[in-house]
């Protein structure tokens, strides 16, 4: 047992040297999580804060000005032009100069005063319908606020029911609070799965795998020697990403580090297991890398990183059951933002354990059978 | 062999020899692609998989959001609120006895929101001063915001029913109402912008990722140096590396166009020839990036990671394909100008949904042409330099 442990440690040492001795590889593995978190933490926002818009005000009344003041004062809308012609508006939308055109009919104030509904026409550039939908939502809020003011100033009854909304765990609903913790899992998976997939494939391509086989190492020891270094690198990467989340973006950490790392290590075991399994079926490094990539892609897209899993069709939701990243992202979110403990995280932990057991077992079986 | 000693070949036969050498190299490269199952995986399986994922799986819409309802007041008015949520197609409701129980449900991820009707609701409703509390799980801010909006609508509906009138009907006094039009995508279908984005991703993958791996492998194995001692020249090697992956990428494009048209029924309002031209430019850019990365790094693992980080992730996150670039901080916006995918996304979204808008097409195509030229020149230099 002790001898076996010493052999594994020697192999881990050798493997770490092989990966980290090259300064470029070392820098890439350690700095890349930091860079990606910084870049995407700023880039990935579904909140709008700069919507250029144009106005066609055919009424020019006090009410119209009050409505437009609501938009201009929102901090979201920036008026680029006051137009009189819808043709100009069309050109500005076509060129992507403005995202939204607001058109106020000549009888806007008259209808309001008469107690009628006064339409405000809003045209939005639907080339990215998600952005357009958000912009329309902000306009609705501004118009409602205008209506409340109008009702107050003219002694009209207020709507009978108020809704008071609060958001827990992320009071300002910032996309960044959701995305940066999710990147912790995504980035480490990309690197560790690839590293594991390449480690055996490289030895096989260079012919050193056969040499390893004539040493006293058992296949399980070889696998442990390949898995542990990749996981160690993954833990360091995750730590780097977490440091960016807390020290740079100042996203408050609600949970326990022990819980988080227990979950992450289980996740890395699953990722490395998949990598080693890929490695065991690939003939060359290139194949190992391409197969790994063909797996990483759907794992990343079906993980809840960019779009929520609950919005997917049922078949796709079922498929995410075998995706370790899905559990890892949920786990990091819940430990980081909600402060969940191990008892609540059980639904995330056992599937990752099963994925790790199945893939590592399959990889070990493949290696042993390739021995003969 | 053409160009034997003693009889210097003329221009024409030199050209013939050059073309023959390039063709031979392309043939070799093409066979390598066709024989390797992993090339098939990335050239055909991956695009198909992405098409299915983007077309059917990815969506930002929310339906059947699970919410817990806590009624501290058992009056008819309060039940009316609960009924409004139960009837809404956007919610899946469950009752919770207390706020603590609801909080437990939220912590364990069983509900995404809580509707709380406080104990004095009926009394305050009689005074015209009642409120309904909504708590949403803020972890996914986008979903939370959508749930908030649906909850607002459900409460407004209950309020209108209580007042015995239709929501939004006249009689409540003058109010401004928004009449919106979504140009280019009146159906508000998110596939309309996801599918053009998908084309960019697939062409980035085939162009940059695959090329960089293949060439890095030749460097790693030393077969690239071996090529240098043959009569083949550097520009010929580069052309022979570009052509097969270029063709594979164009195949991916046609696959995407066909599925956009027949599977997802996304309209294409521009002209097909301009699309082909623009795609060729972008593909040239991404193949050149792949070549540049691999010639500089000469290691398969490094090349794959750098291409992922430098081409694929920016094409996903910084191209304006999902996240609106007008709302990111200035520094990030400046970085995004360095991402070639940004120009292709803008061009494709316009060509698909708005048509041939030259004021969008020309500047974007011009930038891609410049980037392609610079990239190819840099690649040529990187390959030549490492000869010495």
| Residue contact B136–A140, C-beta within 8 A | no
Residues A96-122: what's their mean pLDDT? Answer: 89
Which residue of chain A is at minimal alpha-carbon distance from B152? A163
Residue B337 shares a structural domain with residue B373: yes
Residues B181-193: what's their mean pLDDT? Answer: 75
CB atoms within 10 A of CB B359: 13
What's the mean pLDDT when you consider all of chain B?
A: 82
Kindly report the nearest CA distance between residue B324 and chain A, in angstroms.
7
| Residue contact A164–B134, C-beta within 8 A | yes
Q: How far apart are CA B55 and CA A208, in angstroms?
A: 44
Q: Does A253 touch chain B (CB under 8 A)?
A: no
Q: How far apart are CA A90 and CA B301, in angstroms?
A: 49
Residue B328 shares a structural domain with residue B369: yes
DSSP string, B113-154: EEEEE-TTHHHHHHTT-EEEEEEEETTSHHHHHHHHHHHHHH
Residue B154 shares a structural domain with residue B216: no
In a domain, B339, yes or no: yes
Query: Tens digit of pLDDT for each residue in B302-341?
Result: 888 888 888 888 888 888 887 878 878 888 888 889 899 9
Closest to B138 (Cβ–Cβ): which among A150, A173, A340?
Answer: A173
| Residue contact B170–A120, C-beta within 8 A | no
Q: How far apart are CA A276 and CA A280, in angstroms?
A: 6
pLDDT greater than 50 at residue B358: yes
308-327 in chain A: CB under 8 A from chain B: 308, 310-313, 316
pLDDT greater than 80 at residue B6: no
Pairing of strands A161-168, B175-183: unpaired
Residue B332 is classified by DSSP as H
| Residue contact B179–A122, C-beta within 8 A | yes
Residue A159 is classified by DSSP as P
pLDDT in the model for residue B170: 40
Q: Does A285 touch chain B (CB under 8 A)?
A: yes
Residue B202: domain span? 45-57+190-385
Counting the structural domains of chain B, the total is 2
Closest to B59 (Cβ–Cβ): which among A123, A151, A312?
Answer: A312
198-227 in chain A: CB under 8 A from chain B: 198
Q: How far apart are CA B194 and CA A130, in angstroms?
A: 10
More confident residue, B76 or A164: B76
Residue A105 is classified by DSSP as -
Among A293, A19, A27, CA closest to B308: A293
CB atoms within 10 A of CB B255: 17
Query: Tens digit of pLDDT for each residue in A13-29?
Result: 988 998 888 888 888 88
Residue B260 shares a structural domain with residue B139: no
Q: How far apart are CA B186 and CA A127, in angstroms?
A: 10
Residue B209 shares a structural domain with residue B332: yes
Residues A273-280: what's their mean pLDDT? Answer: 93
**3-state secondary structure at position B44:** helix
Distances in whole angstroms, Cα of residue B281 to Cα of each of A115, B256, B339, B360, B370: 58, 17, 14, 15, 10
Residues B19-43: what's their mean pLDDT? Answer: 79
In a domain, B113, yes or no: yes
Angle at B219 between CA A279 and CA B314, to 5 degrees: 70
Residue B196 shares a structural domain with residue B146: no
Q: How far apart are CA B61 and CA A307, in angstroms?
A: 9
Closest to A156 (Cβ–Cβ): which among B173, B302, B346?
Answer: B173
Residue B169 is classified by DSSP as -
Bridge partner residues of B113 (DSSP): B67, B136
The ipTM is 0.77
Contact of A194 with A289, CB cutoff 8 Å = yes
Kindly report the nearest CA distance between residue B373 and chain A, in angstroms.
26
Burial of A271: CB neighbours in 10 Å, binned 0-12, 13-18, 19+: buried
Q: Does A370 touch chain B (CB under 8 A)?
A: no
Residue B208 shares a structural domain with residue B96: no
**What is the domain partition of chain A in residue ranges?**
2-44+174-371, 51-153
Contact residues, chain B, for A129 at CB < 8 Å: 182, 185, 188-190, 192-193
Kindly report the nearest CA distance between residue A153 and chain B, in angstroms.
12
Residue B146 shares a structural domain with residue B196: no
pLDDT greater than 60 at residue A39: yes
Which CATH fold would you assign to the domain A51-153?
abc type-2 transporter like fold (3.40.1710)
Contact residues, chain B, for A124 at CB < 8 Å: 180-183
Contact of B29 with B240, CB cutoff 8 Å = yes
Residues B94-98: what's their mean pLDDT? Answer: 91
Residues B178-200: what's their mean pLDDT? Answer: 78
% of chain A residues with pLDDT over 70: 98
pLDDT in the model for residue A185: 93
In a domain, B8, yes or no: no
Residue B130 shares a structural domain with residue B265: no
Residue after which a domain boundary falls, among B143, B162, B181: B162
Kindly report the nearest CA distance between residue A3 and chain B, in angstroms.
32
Q: Please give the model's pTM, rounded to 2 decimal places.
A: 0.82
Q: How far apart are CA B287 and CA B246, in angstroms?
A: 7
Closest to B56 (Cβ–Cβ): which among A46, A194, A313?
Answer: A313
Biggest distance spanned by C-alpha atoms of chain B = 110
Residue after which a domain boundary falls, among B117, B146, B162: B162
pLDDT greater than 50 at residue B2: no
| Residue contact A111–B163, C-beta within 8 A | no
| Residue contact B193–A129, C-beta within 8 A | yes
pLDDT in the model for residue B169: 43
Q: How far apart are CA A253 and CA A5, in angstroms?
A: 36
Q: How far apart are CA A185 and CA A297, in angstroms?
A: 14
CB atoms within 10 A of CB A167: 21
Kindly report the nearest CA distance between residue A364 and chain B, in angstroms.
22
Q: Label residue B172 by pLDDT band (50, 70, 90).
A: low
Residues B197-202: what's their mean pLDDT? Answer: 86
CA A84 distance to own-chain centroid: 43
Closest to A163 (Cβ–Cβ): which among B152, B162, B163?
Answer: B152
% of chain B residues with pLDDT over 70: 93
In a domain, B25, yes or no: no
pLDDT in the model for residue A371: 52
Contact residues, chain A, for B132 at CB < 8 Å: 161-164
CB atoms within 10 A of CB B72: 14
The token pair at A326 is 């899905």
pLDDT greater than 90 at residue A355: yes
Test the B interface: residue of A20, A45, A66, A126 with most B CBs within 10 Å: A126
The token pair at B75 is 């009056």
Q: How far apart are CA A238 and CA A228, in angstroms?
A: 15
CB atoms within 10 A of CB A92: 20
Among B319, B88, B56, CA closest to B189: B56
Among B200, B243, B238, CA closest to B347: B200
Give the up-direction half-sphere exposure of residue A15: CA atoms within 13 A in the CB hemisphere.
28
Which residue shows structure tokens 């316009």? B350
| Residue contact A191–B65, C-beta within 8 A | no
In a domain, B24, yes or no: no
pLDDT in the model for residue A138: 86
pLDDT greater than 60 at residue A360: yes
Which residue shows structure tokens 């008819």? B76
Q: Label residue B163 by pLDDT band (50, 70, 90).
A: low
pLDDT greater than 80 at residue A55: yes
CA B259 distance to own-chain centroid: 16
pLDDT in the model for residue B20: 86
Contact of B72 with B80, CB cutoff 8 Å = no
| Residue contact B184–A161, C-beta within 8 A | no
Query: Tens digit of pLDDT for each residue in A331-345?
Result: 999 999 988 888 889
Residues A81-99: what's their mean pLDDT? Answer: 88
Q: Does A259 touch chain B (CB under 8 A)?
A: no
Which residue shows structure tokens 């279908």? B189
pLDDT in the model for residue B387: 54
Q: Which of A102-116, A350-364, B89-103, B180-194 has the highest mean pLDDT?
A: A350-364
Closest to A308 (Cβ–Cβ): which among B125, B140, B210?
Answer: B140
Buried b (16+ CB within 10 A) or exposed e, B321-332: bbbbbbbbeeeb
Distances in whole angstroms, Cα of residue B307 to Cα of each of A57, A206, B20, B310, B377: 50, 24, 31, 5, 18
Contact of A358 with A348, CB cutoff 8 Å = no
Residue A244 is classified by DSSP as I
Query: Tens digit of pLDDT for each residue in B242-286?
Result: 888 888 888 888 888 888 888 888 888 889 899 999 999 999 999
| Residue contact A25–B299, C-beta within 8 A | yes
Helix (H) or strand (E) holding A177: helix A175-206
Query: Tens digit of pLDDT for each residue in A209-261?
Result: 888 878 888 888 888 999 999 999 999 999 999 999 999 999 999 999 999 99
Terminal C-alpha separation, chain B? 27
Closest to A132 (Cβ–Cβ): which among B38, B156, B182?
Answer: B182
pLDDT in the model for residue A260: 96
Residues A34-47: what's their mean pLDDT? Answer: 83
Q: What count of CB pairs under 8 Å joins A to B?
A: 355
Residue B214 shares a structural domain with residue B120: no
Distances in whole angstroms, Cα of residue A16 to Cα of each of A11, A187, A192: 9, 19, 13
Buried b (16+ CB within 10 A) or exposed e, A186-219: bbbbbbbbbbbbbbbbbbbbeeebeebeeeebeb
Q: How far apart are CA B209 and CA B50, in angstroms?
A: 15
What's the mean pLDDT when you consider all of chain A?
A: 88
Which residue of chain A is at minimal alpha-carbon distance from B363? A95
């Amino acid at each position: 047992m002790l001898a076996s442990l010493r052999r594994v440690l020697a192999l881990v040492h050798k493997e770490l040297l092989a990966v980290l001795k090259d300064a470029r590889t070392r820098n890439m593995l350690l700095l890349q999580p930091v860079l990606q978190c910084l870049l995407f933490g700023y880039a990935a926002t579904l909140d709008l804060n700069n919507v250029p818009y144009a106005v066609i005000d055919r009424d020019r009344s006090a009410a119209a000005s009050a409505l437009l003041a609501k938009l201009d004062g929102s901090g979201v809308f920036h008026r680029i032009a006051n137009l009189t012609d819808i043709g100009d508006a069309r050109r500005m939308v076509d060129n992507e100069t403005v995202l939204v055109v607001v058109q106020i009919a000549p009888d806007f104030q008259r209808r309001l005063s008469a107690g009628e509904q006064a339409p405000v026409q809003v045209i939005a550039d639907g080339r990215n319908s998600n952005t357009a939908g958000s912009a329309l939502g902000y306009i609705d809020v501004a118009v409602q606020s205008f209506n409340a003011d109008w009702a107050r100033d003219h002694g009209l009854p207020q709507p009978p029911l108020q809704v008071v909304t609060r958001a827990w765990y992320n009071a300002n609903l910032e996309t960044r609070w959701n995305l940066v913790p999710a990147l912790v899992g995504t980035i480490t998976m990309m690197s560790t799965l690839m590293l594991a997939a390449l480690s055996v494939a490289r030895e096989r391509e260079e012919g050193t795998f056969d040499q390893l086989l004539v040493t006293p190492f058992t296949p399980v020891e070889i696998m442990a020697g390949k898995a542990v270094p990749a996981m160690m690198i993954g833990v360091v990467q995750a730590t780097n990403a977490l440091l960016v989340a807390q020290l740079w973006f100042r996203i408050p950490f609600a949970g326990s580090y022990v819980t988080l790392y227990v979950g992450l290590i289980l996740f890395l075991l699953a990722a490395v297991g998949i990598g080693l399994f890929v490695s065991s079926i690939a003939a060359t490094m290139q194949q190992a890398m391409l197969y790994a990539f063909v797996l990483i892609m759907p794992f990343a897209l079906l993980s809840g990183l960019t779009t929520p899993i609950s919005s997917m069709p049922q078949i796709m939701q079922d498929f995410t059951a075998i995706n370790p990243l899905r559990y890892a992202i949920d786990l990091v979110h819940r430990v980081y933002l909600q402060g969940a403990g191990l008892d609540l995280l059980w639904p995330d932990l056992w599937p990752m354990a099963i994925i790790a057991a199945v893939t590592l077992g399959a990889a070990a079986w493949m290696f042993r059978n390739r021995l003969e | 062999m053409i160009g034997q000693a003693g009889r210097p070949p003329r221009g024409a036969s030199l050209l013939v020899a050059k073309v023959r050498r390039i063709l031979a190299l392309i043939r070799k490269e093409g066979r390598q692609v066709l024989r390797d199952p992993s090339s098939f995986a990335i050239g055909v399986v991956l695009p198909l998989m992405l098409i299915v994922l983007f077309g059917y799986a990815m969506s930002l819409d929310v339906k059947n959001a699970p919410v817990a309802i806590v009624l501290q007041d058992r009056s008819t008015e309060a039940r009316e609120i609960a009924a409004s949520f139960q009837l809404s197609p956007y919610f899946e409701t469950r009752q919770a006895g207390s706020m603590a129980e609801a909080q437990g449900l939220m912590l364990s991820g069983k509900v995404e929101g809580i509707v709380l009707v406080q104990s004095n609701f009926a009394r305050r409703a009689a005074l015209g001063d009642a409120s309904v509390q909504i708590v949403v799980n803020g972890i996914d801010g986008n979903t939370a915001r959508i749930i908030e909006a649906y909850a607002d609508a459900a409460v407004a509906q209950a309020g209108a029913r209580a007042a015995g009138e239709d929501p939004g009907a006249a009689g409540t006094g003058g109010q401004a109402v928004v009449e919106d039009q979504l140009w280019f995508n009146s159906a508000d279908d998110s596939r309309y912008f996801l599918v053009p984005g998908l084309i960019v991703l697939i062409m980035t993958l085939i162009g940059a990722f695959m090329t960089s791996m293949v060439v890095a492998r030749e460097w790693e194995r030393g077969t690239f140096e071996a090529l240098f001692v043959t009569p083949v020249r550097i520009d010929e090697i580069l052309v022979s590396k570009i052509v097969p992956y270029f063709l594979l990428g164009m195949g991916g494009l046609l696959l995407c166009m066909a599925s956009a048209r027949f599977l997802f029924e996304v309209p294409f309002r521009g002209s097909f020839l301009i699309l082909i031209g623009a795609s060729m430019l972008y593909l040239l850019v991404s193949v050149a990036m792949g070549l540049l990365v691999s010639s500089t790094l000469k290691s398969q693992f490094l090349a794959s990671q750098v291409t992922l980080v430098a081409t694929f992730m920016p094409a996903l996150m910084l191209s304006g394909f999902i996240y609106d670039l007008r709302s990111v901080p200035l520094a990030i916006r400046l970085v995004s100008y360095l991402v070639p995918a940004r120009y292709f996304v803008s061009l494709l979204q316009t060509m698909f949904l708005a048509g041939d808008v030259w004021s969008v097409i020309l500047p974007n195509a011009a930038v891609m042409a410049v980037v392609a030229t610079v990239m190819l020149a840099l690649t040529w230099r990187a390959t030549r330099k490492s000869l010495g």
